[in-house]
A and B are shown apart, each in its own frame.
Chain A
Amino acid sequence: MSFEYAPAPESRSVVSIKPKYGHFIGGKFVTGAKHFPTINPATEEVLSHIALAGKAEVDAAVKAARQAYTSTWSKMAGKERGKYLFRIARILQERAREFAVLETLDNGKPIRESRDVDVPLAAAHFFYHAGWADKLEFAGLGTSTKPHGVAGQIIPWNFPLLMLAWKVAPALAAGNTVVLKPAESTSLTALLFAEVCQQAELPAGVVNIVTGDGSTGALIVNHPGIDKIAFTGSTEVGKLIARAVAPTHKSVTLELGGKAANIVFEDAAIDEAIEGIVNGIFFNQGHVCCAGSRLILQESVAEEVLDKLKVRMAKIRVGDPLDKNTDLGAINSKEQLLKIRELSAIGDSEGAQRWSAPCELPKKGFWFAPTIFTGVTQSHRIAREEIFGPVLSVLTFRTPQEAIDKANNTPFGLSAGIWSEKGSRILWASQQLRAGVVWANTFNKFDPTSPFGGYKESGWGREGGRHGLSAYLKGVGHE
């Protein structure tokens, strides 16, 4: 007998999902007019029905946010605002298991990640920003201490609660009120967060959550009552937003796509590099804008690294996201699965060699085995376009400069990885890489104190740290 791990599912009993949800406006849940189903992507089970916000709901949310801003939030002392954020951080910690299970059910990500990454980091973001609320005069960076007013925030489906925290925490700390729209396929933790706001006795209207699809997002972006737009999502939609707000005075931050290079030099600590490659592309099913989706290997170690990588990939446990031993969960939606399949098929047709880890995929739900393409060059579409799935393109290089040139040969510039045991080479490469986040001998690490965001077409602005906070304060000297 071999060492098969028996199923170790996390209990669902900790969450109770309502059959139908409305919007959270002005501190109350209000009924929605139209609804659409939200499913568990691992089973295709319908979890609930989510309201689709139209003009009336978005208007109401913006009005509530404006009223809360004018009458309460902008008048409140920073130290009092901060206390609400501390409360929220604590309640998130108290209800961490509930959030983790709900996130995994709704999103398809492994419970190990929602439990160990998403939820604790979300709480940490509120805790960090809470402390800023009464220290805005020290935020510096050419910003004033004045908030924008009402912030419209549109977040993606890959880290639903965490992205909410990245948006809401700094906005509130700086004194803005918000209208937030979670992604269409992952609204449940945002709606549970609304309950947290109630438990924290956050003044009504400071946080408003409207659910819906792209049309709801467009209503927020174009709403004249909103002063600041923060968006995380695709570069394509980011450009639409940039155009839409161009004629207005809205301030904008964008966290967009990426095609990060993960460069392995021949002197790397190979076993940790393998872990970094795996974490870089298979963390969260590769649904990560900063995923290390282009592996750039020095030719002298390419074969060794690929052999070891395949052995390691064969050990990735794909399956029930609620199982505590699952490493790779479900693809978030059918639509995304089709996109991953389509781009992978293009990889095949362009002559790259596909290898997928031998694993049994569940019959129901949306799944894609961990996959690498070798023999990829800069001209392949799978080396240029964001696949946003567990698919790695492997390229090689001969000299350090060639590695950098390939890494930078993209309109994106969100993140990059370097693996080497040589200090001076790491610092050199980190200077050369045109990316907002450079992970050297590690990958996919996040922290509320650490600014995150992209160069070039990967976005505008930073999130996290002093730099992230400044996006929610008015600039000095800018028109």
Chain B
Amino acid sequence: MSYYGLVDGSDASLKGFLKTLSGVDQVGADARAAMLATRSIKTTSKRWAIDTAISMVDLTTLEGADTPGKVQALCTKAVRPDPSDSTVPSVGAVCVYNDMVGIARQHLDLIGGGHVGVAAVSTAFPSGRASIEVKIQDTKDALDAGASEIDMVIDRGAFLSGKYIDVFNEIVLIRELCGKRAHLKVIFETGELVTYDNVRKASFLAMVAGADFIKTSTGKVAPAATPPVVLVMLEAVRDFYAMTQVRIGVKPAGGIRNTKDAIKQLVLVNETAGPEWLTPSLFRIGASALLNDLLMQRMKMDDGYYASPAYVTID
């Protein structure tokens, strides 16, 4: 693989490349994210943002208690989030554990949701603590069951102990497994990487290794997709595009629970990576509760009344 001509796959070249990245000043990044959070999105732009956000949702269930019934209900909701309003777009994908991939794919196809992707969390999600063989098998299972997107976690232990090449090689391996069958999203668990310098470093490492998307978090660790973390990742994909002319997607996941949070994310995208990223093929929001809040806000905008949760489905 060429790795965009940025590294040659050796430890030394990877380390050398990562050293060229500029640092991130935490206070400055926080301030920029906070300033963008003051953007006031109203009327027509709010309506547009709500529909765009819905189409970007990776509707997620990642629980030990997941069952086929629960996943099928989720898929139904994903295809038609508001049964009473056909103008509401489908979400981007459903996101499930790998043993639920087949069930999800089958059910989506059955109900006319062929356009909705199935994302499988992989590589010993959420901790990433398993042998490489297990991680490979984990991914293969998901692909074989019809996953169109693989959300892999990186080995944070390796990253934090400076074994960047191990993290890199794992991503390369999973990338090869995905081939053309599936998009690869690489999850950093930014709450465990802690510093924005690490987030920037992980972003470039994953992009060079072949990620199609970089994703903040598993949803199992807080803090997750905070605005400044997403800002730093959006700056990384923007800079990577400047180097390679390749656009990598970004997926914040975890902690985005209401319309206001989601719109803040879209503002970050718009003013950081740029409007080219405002499409489900380059920006996804991993969430579950968010979808209903978006639907309620949409109802409020349509009929002028504040909505009641009784009018949105709980699936």
Which residues of A are interface residues toward B (Cβ below 8 A)? 1-8, 112, 116, 267-272, 275-276, 307, 315, 324-325, 421, 441-442
Contacts and interface: CB of A to CB of B under 8 A. Distances in A.
A6 B43 contact: yes
Interface in B240-275: 242, 266-267, 270-271, 275
Contact of A269 (B25, B42, B43, B242): B25
A2 B275 contact: yes
Contact of B22 (A270, A276, A325): A270
Contacts of A269: 22-25, 28
Given A271-B22, A324-B38, A3 B45 contact: yes
Given A271-B235, A442-B27, A4 B45 contact: yes
B41 A5 contact: yes
Interface string B8-43: 000000000000001111011101100000111111
Contact of A3 (B23, B28, B42, B49): B49
A272 B29 contact: yes
B84 interface: no
B243 to A, nearest CB: 11
A272 B24 contact: yes
A111 to B, nearest CB: 10
B23 A421 contact: yes
Contacts of B31: 275
- Taking chain A's interface residues, is the majority helix, strand, or loop, or is none over half, making it mixed? loop
B48 interface: yes
B29 A271 contact: yes
Contacts of B199: none
Contacts of A8: 40-42
Given A271-B28, A276-B28, 11 more contacts: A3-B278, A4-B44, A5-B41, A6-B43, A6-B44, A116-B38, A271-B24, A271-B32, A324-B38, A324-B39, A421-B23
A441 B45 contact: no
Nearest to A272: B28
B46 interface: yes
B268 to A, nearest CB: 11
Interface of B: 22-25, 27-29, 31-32, 38-46, 48-49, 52, 232, 235, 242, 266-267, 270-271, 275, 278
Contact of A6 (B23, B28, B38, B45): B45
Contacts of A7: 42
A116 B40 CA distance: 14
A272 B31 CA distance: 9
23 contacts: A2-B275, A3-B52, A3-B267, A4-B44, A5-B39, A5-B40, A6-B44, A7-B42, A8-B40, A267-B22, A267-B23, A269-B28, A271-B28, A271-B232, A271-B235, A272-B25, A272-B29, A272-B32, A275-B31, A275-B32, A276-B28, A325-B40, A421-B22
User: Among the interface residues A116, A272, A324, A421, which one has the most CB atoms of the partner chain B within 10 A?
Assistant: A272
A3 B275 contact: yes
Contacts of A116: 38
B278 A325 contact: no
Contacts of A4: 44-45
Contacts of B43: 6
A315 B271 contact: yes
A268 B23 CA distance: 7
Contacts of A112: 38
B48 A1 contact: yes
A307 B241 CA distance: 14
A1 B46 CA distance: 13
Contacts of A3: 45, 48-49, 52, 266-267, 270, 275, 278
